[in-house]
Amino acid sequence: MKNSGKLILLLFIPLVVVAGLVFANREVESPADQTPKPLSIADKKASLEVRKRWEASPDGIRYKAWEASHEGKKVHSSHDKIKKSIAAFADMEAVVTSVTYQRPDSKPSGPKWLIVRINDEDYMMQFTPKEFQQLSRLKVNDKILVRSRSVGFSPNHPYLIVSGDYIEFDKKTLFERIFSKNNAC
């Protein structure tokens, strides 16, 4: 019985080594190497149908009306001023105008908002309470550098919502949103 256990162990070790070498030498395809597949005509039509149905829904109608309103046009105009910086993930100089903004219908434990002014336009940045703790030393009129990967339009908010993915104050990183494969949102 002792010899059969040793024999199994001796056969198992090379198997583990070979499996490790095979796994280590395989090519890993990163998301950057993947080219997006073009949508088929059927997929494009299906996507267009979904969009048309949403636009005909009460929420879609309200959103389209907001887009056509003065407030909606102002938000879209403010997006036009920073869209090149967003696309390039470039530094944008900002001045903090509010660190205490809270939506009227929100709970105290809800999201926290930072309002900043970039190029004479106001923008909102939303953070979880835990993320906002990192920004607790900011005060009104502080000058910060902001980098963002995306923006959001909402008729429920008075300004364009900018994702504050990187915030620097006094040449120190105050906040940086880390994107991993598991949390790539």
pLDDT digits 0-9 by tens, 111-131: 888 999 999 999 999 888 888
- Closest of 37, 39, 58 to residue 47, by C-alpha: 39
Please report where in the chains the tokens 């990183």 appear, as a residue. Answer: 173
- Which of the pair, 22 or 105, is modelled with greater confidence? 105
DSSP string, 26-47: SPPPPTTTPPPPPPPHHHHHHH
Question: How many other C-beta atoms lie within 10 A of the C-beta of residue 77?
Answer: 11
- Which of the pair, 105 or 168, is modelled with greater confidence? 168
Q: Which domains does the chain have, with CATH numbers?
A: 60-179 (2.40.50)
Structural element, H or E, at residue 167? strand 166-169
What would the mean pLDDT of 139-164 be, rounded to a whole number? 92
- The pLDDT, as a whole number, for residue 179 is 72
- The pLDDT, as a whole number, for residue 166 is 94
Note whether 144 and 137 are within 8 A (CB).
no
Share of the chain above pLDDT 70, in %: 77
Question: What's the DSSP call for residue 57?
Answer: S
> What are the Cα distances from residue 56, in Å, to 36, 40, 43, 49, 67?
30, 24, 20, 11, 15
The C-alpha atoms of residue 170 and residue 174 are separated, in whole angstroms, by 9
The C-alpha atoms of residue 101 and residue 184 are separated, in whole angstroms, by 27
Note whether 116 and 146 are within 8 A (CB).
yes
The C-alpha atoms of residue 15 and residue 91 are separated, in whole angstroms, by 52
Supply the pTM of this predicted model: 0.70
Give Cα 125 to chain centroid, integer Å. 11
- The pLDDT, as a whole number, for residue 30 is 54
pLDDT band (50, 70, 90) for residue 2:
low
- The pLDDT, as a whole number, for residue 145 is 95
What would the mean pLDDT of 132-161 be, rounded to a whole number? 92
The C-alpha atoms of residue 85 and residue 93 are separated, in whole angstroms, by 11
Note whether 98 and 115 are within 8 A (CB).
yes
- Tens-digit pLDDT profile for residues 55-109: 899 999 999 999 999 999 999 999 999 999 999 999 999 999 999 887 777 777 7
- The pLDDT, as a whole number, for residue 10 is 62
The C-alpha atoms of residue 122 and residue 162 are separated, in whole angstroms, by 10
